[in-house]
Amino acid sequence: MFKKCLLLIFFVSLSSYSQVQTVFFVEDVDTIEVITVNFCVNDEAKISEVNIIPEKSTYKNEIEIKKLINYLKGIQYYPDSKLRNNCYDSTFDFVNKKYETAKLGVSDYSKCRNFRTGNYLYDDFRFSDTKIKRGKKIQKETSKNFNEKYIISWPNPCRYELEYATVNDKKNEHLIGKSIIVEIIAILENGYVYKSKLMSYPEKIGIIVKTD
């Protein structure tokens, strides 16, 4: 759920005077659209320039995009931040407002059980080559440069926990034994919308598609 390309977001969030918002709830998308920007931090540790990356963006509302740019330009990092004098790419999610408080009820439990096992993909360009293989007790996620294994458990039919069992990056070894809490909040035709949370990192909302 939380891949290398999200580590920058987490680093940015923990390096600022307040957490950087990465999820915005709007009413003009069906599920989730994204905006990817390249932002530059000046010597004063402030974001001084923000440019949209069109080929990595799907959200088109110019008013909301302008709000995002103004928001980012108002961010002040710690004076000694290592982010100073460099530029970075970061992706922001624009999620349909109905998912902000969405929660499945008992009547949906049987539908959630369909996702206990199988093969899946993330509906997200950031993880487009990541394959998910879910068994009754183990979930594996692999891509060209990524290979992690989790112990999966289901406290209830629409909520599961992924405990880190193995990681391929030594920098993430501190996550072994820690769990990502995932809640299925909406059922789609070929998958589901989820909310996931890992420790103090920002909550993530995404879509997983079942491929078999």
> Region 5-10: what's the mean pLDDT?
40
Number of domains making up the chain: 2
Same domain, 112 and 20: no
What is the span of the domain harbouring residue 183? Answer: 106-210
Q: How far apart are CA 28 and CA 88, in angstroms?
A: 27
Mean pLDDT of 148-169: 96
CA of 118: how far to CAs of 82, 141, 204, in Å? Answer: 42, 12, 22
**59-69 residue pLDDT tens:** 999 999 999 99
| Gap between the Cα atoms of 26 and 205, Å rounded | 13
- Domain limit, last residue, from 70, 99, 128: 99
Res 201: pLDDT: 85
CATH code, domain with 193: 2.40.128.20
Nearest-5° Cα angle at 35, 82 to 189: 130
- Based on the domain organization, do 175 and 193 belong to the same domain? yes
Shared domain check, 140 and 79: no
Residues 89 and 148 in one domain: no
Do 62 and 110 reside in the same domain of the chain?
A: no
Same domain, 87 and 144: no
**3-state DSSP assignment of residue 67:** helix
- Cα separation values, 128 from 12, 115, 122, 171, 209, Å: 23, 19, 6, 23, 11
Which pTM was predicted?
0.86
178 and 89 inside one domain: no
Residue that terminates a domain, selected from 47, 76, 99: 99
Q: Where do we find the tokens 């996620």? A: 141
CA angle 20, 22, 23 (to 5 degrees): 135
> Count H helices, E strands: the chain?
3, 12
- Same domain, yes or no, for 166 and 121? yes
- pLDDT category at 19 given cuts 50, 70, 90 is low
